Amino acid sequence: MAILVLGGAGYIGSHTVYELIDYGEQVVIVDNLETGHIEAVHPKAKFYQGDIRNRAFMDRVFEENKIDAVIHFAANSLVGESMTNPLKYYDNNLCGTKVLLESMVAHRIDKIVFSSTAATYGEPENIPILETDKTNPTNCYGETKLSMEKMFKWTGKAHGLRYVSLRYFNACGAHESGQIGEAHAPETHLIPLILQVPNGIRESITIFGDDYPTPDGTCIRDYIHVTDLAMAHIQAVQYLRAGNTSNIFNLGNGVGFSVKEVIETARAVTGHPIPAVIEGRRAGDPARLIASSEKARQVLGWNPQHDDLSKIIASAWKWHKGHPDGFAK
Ligand code: UDP
């Protein structure tokens, strides 16, 4: 039996595939390569290029392979873009998941691990954020991910499908080999953008807002290493295989760093002065997001290994230094 990884050529998807294969699992990948990279596809995985919105294609994948569980990363995931082009997010994230679920139900595939986000909470009521806290997304990306979670819930009730939704905080870092890492075009995420400065690609980093109600005025986020996220997916599949009920888990380190602190740490790691320029706030950004991941630790036995921001940034730097243009030749 194989695990089907949708979006397995993307950032978190490719790192999860690497861990699954190290773990001895058989892996089938589906990716439309719209934002994923063929170079990030693990050579031992079976690869299909195609789109989850294509029902006939998804049916063929389920018919040609013995699939035990699905891990679903295939979605658009940029906060800023979701605010300017919301219908793109409804189309890919929600319509894609609807087609996927129809095909899963038809083929009696009953386990799915889903890539969700801290953006489902919106402006948090409490810090650290618990899974039971109110969900009220402040951007369309978070709204579509929350709707996807609800689609799993109701489909599960009707058709016996079980799901684990993993609400990631800020994914960062790269595989220890330095062979795969974060590569978005255009890049919008803080750490890769900061590292473009010592890589000679940009002259400075822009800070989006220094008037937030935080100690230094910049947004605080919980940065979690991509390999730790990958491990949680393996544990979530095991949890479902063991017959457990559907569940939702936060994944973060439980520690917050401001944008200014991240830049300062990157200066120390790279030895580059990394000039910073303050600009206005970015639409849809909550001031502070920090996870409580106690539930994932208790229930899944998740134990993140990378809790030091310098080491996380050093792992990202190893990848970006060796691949300044991402996967481009
Ligand atoms: N950010 C920034 N400058 C940038 C990119 C991001 O100040 O060039 C800030 C952004 O406003 C947020 C934090 O860095 O507060 C993390 O943003 P990112 O896009 O990496 O992740 P998100 O929190 O949106 O998932």
Average pLDDT over every residue of 157-175:
97
**Strand pairing partners for 301?**
none
Mean pLDDT of the region 239-257: 98
Q: Is 60 exceeded by the pLDDT of residue 329?
A: no
Residue 60 predicted with pLDDT over 90: yes
Which residue's CA is the nearest one to ligand 1's atom 6? Answer: 190
- Measured distance between the N- and C-terminal CA atoms of the chain, rounded to whole angstroms: 35
Give the whole-angstrom CA distance, residue 114 versus residue 167. Answer: 9
Residue 89 tokens read as: 């997010």
H or E element at residue 112? strand 111-117
What pLDDT does residue 276 have? Answer: 98
Q: Quick check: CB of 184 below 6 Å from ligand 1?
A: no
The per-residue pLDDT for 328 is 79
Q: For residue 262, which atom of ligand 1 is closest to its CA?
A: 14
In this structure, are strands 257-258 and 220-221 parallel, antiparallel, or unpaired? antiparallel
Which residue's CA is the nearest one to ligand 1's atom 19? 189
96-106 helix and 140-159 helix, angle to the nearest 10 degrees? 20
Q: What angle do CA 271, 275, 280 make, to 5 degrees?
A: 140
Per residue in 143-164, pLDDT (tens digit) is 999 999 999 999 999 999 999 9
How far apart CA 158 and CA 211 sit, in angstroms, is: 47
Query: Distance (Å, rounded) from C-alpha 222 to C-alpha 297?
Result: 16
Closest ligand 1 atom, residue 205 Cα: 8
Per-residue pLDDT tens digits for 2-17? 999 999 999 999 999 9
Q: How far apart are CA 76 and CA 22, in angstroms?
A: 27
Protein residue whose Cα sits closest to atom 12 of ligand 1? 219
Q: How deeply is 39 buried, as exposed, middle or buried, from its count of CB atoms within 10 A (0-12, 13-18, 19+)?
A: middle
- The finding on whether 189 has its CB within 6 A of some atom of ligand 1 is yes
Select which of 141, 163, 168, 239 is catalytic: 141
Residue 208 CB less than 6 A away from ligand 1: yes
Q: Which atom of ligand 1 is nearest to the CA of 282?
A: 11
CA distances from 115 to 11, 232, 312 (A): 12, 11, 21
The reported pLDDT for the residue numbered 241 is 98
Q: What is the pLDDT of residue 237?
A: 98
Q: Which numbered atom of ligand 1 lies nearest the CA of 117?
A: 25
Distance 188 CA to ligand 1 centre (A): 7
- Residue 141 falls in the annotated catalytic set: yes
The mean of the pLDDT values for the chain is 96
Name the one residue in this structure whose structure tokens are 């888990």.
249
In this prediction, residues 71-94 reach a mean pLDDT of 94
List the one residue out of 247, 249, 246, 253 whose CA is nearest residue 228: 253
Q: How far is the CA of 196 from the centre of ligand 1 (A)?
A: 14
Cβ contact 284:138 at 8 Å: yes
The amino acid at residue 89 is Y
- Pairing between β-strand 67-72 and β-strand 111-117 as defined by DSSP bridges: parallel
Cα 285 to averaged position of ligand 1 atoms, centre (Å): 8
Q: Is the pLDDT of residue 277 over 90?
A: yes
Residue 56 alpha carbon to ligand 1 centre in Å: 38
Tens-place pLDDT, residues 280-303: 998 878 899 999 999 999 999 999
